[in-house]
């Protein structure tokens, strides 16, 4: 590595190309792109699960990073080659506290609904429970901040940014993936997200939400979006294994439509199957639409299930759960779908919309997300719904 290259630290809760979250894909691609021109070190966790923050990545003696400032703690070290040229380092810190999501949701409800409880002590406790709780990562930043020219922090909501950013704010670029959601109004975020840092937003709507909630427009910012490999899509050919791959089913769910035509038209949902993504109401409205429509379309769901799904939906023959799918399978699904649905009310970009539009397919999105609605208005590439009435045909 040339000594003249700028040294950049990228701080993020999860770093992997094996998870389906949009922010995780964004930062993984971001690091891959920068690796040929900069000396990159990713500071992240050993977790691949944002629900529990379980330490999924094992530590082996040959993969240890020795931190002289804290020799008692084991840090997983990995060096990777970028698919686009160059290489980068990954330091994965142990999450000290796993999250019980039900207990955390109860705590969040109490804190977020009662401003009188939003004092520093309570909010700090809430942030530790929010996670991922990695105090050693924060300590690493504090002791080694002089070794890096720039720090990137990803996802405003989580512990690493809130406690790491103030240590290096004047040489930091924040990728907030900001949403208009209840936690964004907590006083702590006005204290941490200041004009002393620079910012990279995914869309104009994200910048506007940021300005409305935090009360300022950053002096230094960019609207960056995300790079997509157009050549990959231009040269994409239908994979002969599509039908076989599309039968892949989540390990706990068996295929529910053995008698349906494999060539039947379908709508597609790609992403985490999460109540916070507006998923359940969308599926319920889709099934109601099916009862009133002569169309043969089914709904295919490609993504990891992270919320409880009612039995009536799991067993409905018009809804097929595929689980997490590999990239080639996802491309085939996009190639063959009639329309993509993104039901999330909270988005800062939506990578899959861009991928679908590269294949000239329409989308249907949740109008509660200003970002998704803005994408559709600018592109004329989709429609949006805001409630049951606007989802269903007249």
Beta bridge partners of 55: 47
The Cα 216–Cα 193 span in angstroms is 10
Q: What is the pLDDT of residue 271?
A: 85
Q: Over range 2-8, report the average pLDDT.
A: 75
Q: What is the pLDDT of residue 241?
A: 43
Q: Which residues does 318 contact at the CB level (< 8 Å), separation at least 6?
A: 257, 286, 287, 290, 298, 299
Phi, psi at residue 383, to the nearest 5°? -115, 170
Query: Would you call the peptide bond into 125 cis, given omega within 30 degrees of 0 as the criterion?
Result: no
Strands 339-342 and 363-366: parallel
Give the domains, in start order, of the chain with CATH numbers.
7-223 (3.40.50.2000), 237-391 (3.40.50.2000)
Count how many residues are written for the chain: 394
- Per-residue b or e along 159-190, where b marks 16 or more CB atoms closer than 10 Å to that residue's CB: bbbbbbbbebbeebbbbbbbbbeebbebeebe
Q: Is residue 237 exposed (0-12), middle (13-18) or buried (19+ Cβ within 10 Å)?
A: exposed
Among 186, 185, 190, CA closest to 166? 190
Q: What is the pLDDT of residue 107?
A: 94
Q: What is the pLDDT of residue 251?
A: 35
% of residues, the chain, pLDDT over 90: 60
Q: What is the pLDDT of residue 11?
A: 98
Q: Over range 332-356, report the average pLDDT.
A: 90
In angstroms, the first-to-last Cα distance of the chain is 62
Q: Over range 328-335, report the average pLDDT.
A: 89
Angle at Cα 146 formed by Cα 145 and Cα 149, nearest 5°? 90
Q: What is the pLDDT of residue 236?
A: 54
Phi, psi at residue 288, to the nearest 5°? -65, -40
The Cα 90–Cα 75 span in angstroms is 10
Query: Where are the extended beta strands (E) located within the chain?
Result: 7-11, 39-45, 64-65, 75-81, 87-93, 150-154, 172-175, 198-201, 221-223, 266-270, 298-302, 319-323, 339-342, 363-366, 382-385
pLDDT tens for 93-121 read: 999 999 999 999 999 999 999 999 999 99
Dihedral sign (CA 112, 116, 117, 121): positive
Q: In what order do the strands lie in the sheet with 198-201?
A: 64-65, 75-81, 87-93, 39-45, 7-11, 150-154, 172-175, 198-201, 221-223
pTM: 0.79
From residue 65, alpha-carbon distances to 70, 76, 173 in Å are 11, 6, 26
The Cα 76–Cα 59 span in angstroms is 6
pLDDT tens for 22-42 read: 788 889 988 999 998 999 999
Q: What is the pLDDT of residue 232?
A: 61
Phi, psi at residue 201, to the nearest 5°? -105, 155
Range with lowest mean pLDDT among 63-67, 101-105, 249-253: 249-253
pLDDT tens for 192-214 read: 999 999 999 999 999 999 999 99
């Amino acid at each position: 590595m040339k000594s003249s290259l700028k040294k950049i630290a990228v701080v993020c809760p999860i770093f992997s190309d094996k998870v389906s979250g949009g922010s995780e894909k964004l930062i993984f691609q971001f690091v891959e792109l920068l690796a040929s021109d900069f000396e990159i070190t990713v500071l992240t966790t050993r977790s691949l699960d944002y629900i529990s923050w379980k330490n999924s990545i094992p530590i082996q003696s040959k993969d240890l990073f020795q931190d002289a400032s804290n020799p008692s703690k084991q840090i997983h070290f990995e060096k990777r080659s970028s698919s686009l040229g160059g290489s980068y380092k990954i330091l994965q810190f142990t999450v000290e506290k796993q999250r019980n999501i039900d207990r955390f949701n109860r705590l969040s409800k109490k804190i977020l609904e009662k401003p009188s409880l939003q004092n520093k002590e309570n909010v700090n406790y809430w942030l530790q429970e929010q996670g991922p709780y990695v105090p050693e990562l924060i300590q690493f930043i504090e002791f080694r901040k002089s070794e890096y020219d720039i720090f990137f922090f990803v996802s405003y909501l989580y512990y690493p940014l809130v406690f790491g950013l103030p240590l290096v704010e004047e040489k930091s670029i924040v990728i907030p993936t900001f949403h208009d959601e209840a936690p964004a109004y907590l006083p702590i975020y006005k204290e941490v997200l200041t004009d002393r840092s620079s910012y990279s937003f995914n869309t104009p709507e994200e910048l506007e939400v940021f300005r409305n909630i935090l009360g300022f427009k950053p002096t230094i910012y960019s609207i960056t979006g995300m790079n997509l490999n157009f050549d990959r899509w231009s040269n994409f050919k239908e994979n002969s294994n599509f039908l076989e791959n599309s039968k892949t089913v989540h390990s706990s769910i068996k295929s529910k439509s053995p008698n349906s035509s494999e060539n039947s038209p379908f709508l597609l949902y790609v992403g985490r199957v999460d109540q916070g993504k507006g998923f359940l109401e969308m599926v319920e409205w889709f099934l109601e639409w099916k009862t009133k429509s002569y169309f043969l379309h089914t709904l295919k769901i490609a993504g990891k299930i992270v919320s409880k799904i009612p039995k009536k939906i799991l067993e409905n023959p018009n809804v097929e759960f595929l689980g997490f799918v590999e990239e080639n399978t996802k491309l085939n699904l996009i190639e063959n779908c009639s329309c993509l649905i993104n039901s999330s009310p909270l988005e800062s970009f939506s990578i899959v919309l861009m991928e679908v539009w590269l294949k000239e397919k329409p989308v249907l999105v949740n109008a509660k997300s200003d970002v998704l609605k803005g994408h559709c208005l600018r592109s004329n590439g989709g429609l949006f719904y805001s409630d049951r009435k606007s989802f269903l045909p007249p």
